[in-house]
Each structure stands twice: as C-alpha cells, then as structure tokens.
C-alpha cells in the first residue's frame, strides 16, 4: 500500500494550529496527560493493577466488591449489512454497562443516547479495524456500524468534523424482522 492511499498518515500535517479547549479540572488534565504518555498496553496494565488494589482494599475493609452486571451472550443470529434494527432503550443499555460505561470493552458515549429507541439500518458488521494509536489492525467481534450514525464530537473537545462512525455492540441492538 502506498503512503498516499490513506489520509491518516498526513493528519498531523493537515491540522492547523491548536484548538482552544474549555477549562478542565486538574483530575481530567492528569488523566489526559497519563493517557498521552502511556501505550495502550501500559494503560491496560494500570487498569488491571488498579482493579487488584481495589479488590484488596475491599477485602481488608471487610466490604464486598460490587457485582459486575451480567451481559446477555450474543445470539446465534448475527446482524448483517442491510438489516433493520431497533436501538434498545437507554434503560436496557445501562443494564449492560459496567462502571466505565462499557460493554465488553466497547464504550457507550454520551452522543449515542439520542439514538436509543430509534430504528436504524446496519451498514456493516465489523471483523477488524485500525487502532490509530498503535497503527495496527485489530480483530473484533460483535461490533456493528449503523448507516448515517456518526460522532459529532465530545464535550471535552468540542465539535469535530471527522465524522467517525460509532461502534455499537450487537447486544445494544434488536433485529426487526
């Protein structure tokens, strides 16, 4: 593959100036600083060690750990391109999210809430994607892209014109026959 077949390698050159961000709390600035300076594997190890420490603290304090929410297993029927689906209600999806607002590692972003209860069309079921932090192709399972359902930026950074498709877990969607 030639270097000019994808715009990602030149994104740093495309960017013009620095965007002025809204003021952030000290906690948020520290979190962002840590994330920018650690690799994804180091962040994963940090989360794992934090979970072990949390478990140890609960054990020594005589309290029980909160129980993880049970997420229904993927059904035998997989979603395909062109299928019509209903995005489950916010209450149904919240019941599947862990304390980090994730289901099986896939985050449910605030901008996704407005699609809850709506009918959408499946663009495609994903099997792999490019992790732009590591520039590696990674495999995935149970991730769905919906037609015309795109991220419009997040509060922390403001509006974004990149138009990334949102990743949806199959569990958050219900196929309509």
Q: Please write the tens of the pLDDT for every residue from 86-134.
A: 999 999 999 999 888 888 888 888 889 999 999 999 999 988 888 777 7
> Can you give the pTM of this predicted structure?
0.60
Share of the chain above pLDDT 90, in %: 27
Which pLDDT score, from 0 to 100, does residue 76 have? 59
Whether the CA torsion 30, 67, 95, 172 is positive or negative: it is: positive
Token pair in block for residue 131: 């992790």
Which pLDDT score, from 0 to 100, does residue 3 have? 39
Q: For residue 50, give the H/E element and its range.
A: helix 40-60
Instruction: Give dist(CA 32, CA 157) in Å, integer.
Output: 12
Q: Is 116 left (phi over 0), alpha (psi -120 to 50) or beta?
A: beta
């Amino acid at each position: 593959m030639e270097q000019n077949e994808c715009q990602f390698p030149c994104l740093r050159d495309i960017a013009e100036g620095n965007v002025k961000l809204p003021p952030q709390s000290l906690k948020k600035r520290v979190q962002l600083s840590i994330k920018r300076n650690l690799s994804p594997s180091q962040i994963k190890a940090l989360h794992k060690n934090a979970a072990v420490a949390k478990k140890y603290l609960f054990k020594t304090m005589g309290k029980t750990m909160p129980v993880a929410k049970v997420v229904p297993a993927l059904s035998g029927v997989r979603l395909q391109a062109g299928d019509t689906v209903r995005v489950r209600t916010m209450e149904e999806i919240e019941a599947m999210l862990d304390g980090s607002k994730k289901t099986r590692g896939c985050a449910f972003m605030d901008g996704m809430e407005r699609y809850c209860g709506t009918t959408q069309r499946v663009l495609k079921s994903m099997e792999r994607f490019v992790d732009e932090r590591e520039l590696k192709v990674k495999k995935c399972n149970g991730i769905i892209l919906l037609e015309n359902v795109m991220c419009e930026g997040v509060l922390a950074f403001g509006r974004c014109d990149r138009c990334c498709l949102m990743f949806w877990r199959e569990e958050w969607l219900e196929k309509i026959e």
